[in-house]
Amino acid sequence: MLDKLKNIVSFFRPLATLGLLIYIGSKIDFGTVFSIMKQSDLKYIASGVVCYNVAIWFEAFRFYVVMNQFEQKIPYIEILHIQYVSMFYGTFIPIGMISSEIVRGYKFSQQGYSGKKAAAIIIILKTIGLYVLLGSAALSILELKDTRYYHFSIALAGLFVVATIVTLTIICSTHCIDLFISLNKKMNIHRMNLSGNIDKLLLTIRMMVVERKKKIITVLGLTSIGYLFSIFGNLLFAQSLGMDVTLLKMGWVNGLTGISMLLPLGLFSFGGKDLTYWYLFKSLGFDMNQIGAFLFLINAGYIMNAAIGGFWELYRLISAKLLNR
């Protein structure tokens, strides 16, 4: 069943992505977009690329902080390699963000981590990342007061408050996870042979939360700093094109875009992300052609960083073959 679903998604993803990009392309004038690009400030663009990479380095470092508390120590450079390689697969391989997590889990297992422990680490760090995204999206309440989207921003702010309470509860007590384990045992999913595996995964997460509370708080700080650099990167790209965007505005736009990529839109990689950026900036009154130039820059920056992972992996494969001769 899962294989069939994966095949369906793999088939339709490129078509859906292409369709979304064609739709956005039909709303802009490419001649004007390239004219805007020619007038862009290269210093801002270069600084934005640097900020993107610093965000990736922080992303890798938070994995390093968590994973090196276990018996299997992994050098930071190895975790950084895994981060870039997972970006490569998440960008160029079907099923988008899901494939990047599969590759990351596989690479961790090659370093001696069990599947459950690798999955638990990824789930915990992704949950922390979602919390940071939600917090930045909730900042929209500060700017959308007099718009039709104000009620939506209030809902986001309320959800962030609830998420904060839940997060503090989990960090300060393990009763929440114990409840999930209890509910899982009561659910009628034993016929699917999943219950036992889910129990083990939840117990692994419980153990990590109990034993590494301080590390989780540290990782939350690292995640926030890394995310701030990614916002700076996008802000510099926007300002290089003459877009009047503040750090606050770019923060909540990034947050909403990140959350949208967790929805089915996330399966369509660039198309889904671009559509969200396009809609948000259009709603804020920005010129369509400026938005098109901005989308070109952020996609070029992301593809370039993903390509680093591809070349790095290729270099290792070639080096390994030469050593085995």
pLDDT the model gives residue 188: 46
d(CA 254, CA 111) in angstroms, rounded, equals 33
d(CA 257, CA 272) in angstroms, rounded, equals 9
- pLDDT tens column, 283-317: 888 888 898 899 889 988 888 998 999 899 888 88
Q: Enumerate helices (H) and strands (E) in the chain, giving the number of each.
A: 13, 0
Three-class DSSP category at 263: coil
What sign does the CA torsion over 296, 297, 300, 302 have? negative
pLDDT the model gives residue 195: 46
d(CA 275, CA 272) in angstroms, rounded, equals 5
Query: Per-residue pLDDT for 112 more than 70?
Result: yes
Tokens of 5: 């679903």
DSSP for 162-202, written as a single string: HHHHHHHHHHH-SHHHHHHHHHHHHSS-GGGT-HHHHHHHH
- pLDDT tens column, 225-262: 999 999 999 999 999 998 989 999 999 888 888 877 76
- CB 95 within 8 Å of CB 76: no
User: Which pLDDT band holds residue 265 (cuts at 50, 70, 90)?
Assistant: very low
Task: Show Cβ contacts of residue 286 under 8 Å, excluding neighbours closer than 6 positions.
Answer: 243
- CB 257 within 8 Å of CB 280: yes
- Residue pointed to by tokens 């820059």: 297
- CB 40 within 8 Å of CB 298: no
Residue 257, Cβ neighbours under 10 Å: how many? 22
- CB 116 within 8 Å of CB 122: no
